[in-house]
Amino acid sequence: MRKPLFVPARSRRAIDEHLLVRFPRVYGMLVWWVTRLPPESRIRQAMIWRATEQGFAATNRRDFEAVLPRYDPNVEFLPSRELVRVGIAASYRGHDGFLRLWGDWDSAWAGHAQWEPKELIDLGDDRLLMLGRMKGTGEASGIAVDTEVAVLFTFRNGRVIREEHYFSSSAAEALEALGLEPSAR
């Protein structure tokens, strides 16, 4: 299932995000149940799209307390090979790894890089693919960057256990590896 995605510039949490932070186990049970529904289920679609939009909005405002309950404590993050070439570690593990990743990320980008999700594809096998853009300015170079991105999320028991980032041409490669048409976006 493919659906457009939009992340509003929100300066604070929505009420359901406050509940997520306050009651992460309830959120986990709800998401586990939702991810068991078939991909064409309207309930599954609505809840997954809202959670994804809120997750990217919280990341853009660096509200990691509202992001971390969405991730398994042993999650693995795999930054794009382009970022690894410029000094970001090849992988990060766990919630502490998530925070280190964003510390490294923000030190590489002057003024916080921002995600602009455009489309979410529910692959139906405990994986979601977000297609969009990432915009920022390099801290060292001062060069503005505006690149296509693909982020592949893998879930287990309703929480993200693996997040893989692909930039520019590697985003097209990720789509092809998943059997999707890059031009279908």
Give residue-wise pLDDT tens across range 134-158. 888 877 777 888 888 999 999 988 8
The pLDDT value recorded for residue 120 is 93
Its CATH architecture, for the domain 2-184, is: Roll (3.10)
The pLDDT value recorded for residue 117 is 93
Distance CA 28, CA 20 (A): 9
The pLDDT value recorded for residue 185 is 42
Sort residue 161 into left (φ over 0), alpha (ψ -120 to 50) or beta: alpha
The pLDDT value recorded for residue 182 is 60
> Which stretches of the chain drop beneath a pLDDT of 50?
183-185
The pLDDT value recorded for residue 141 is 77
Whole-prediction pTM value?
0.86
β pairing state of 127-138 and 159-167: unpaired
The pLDDT value recorded for residue 39 is 83
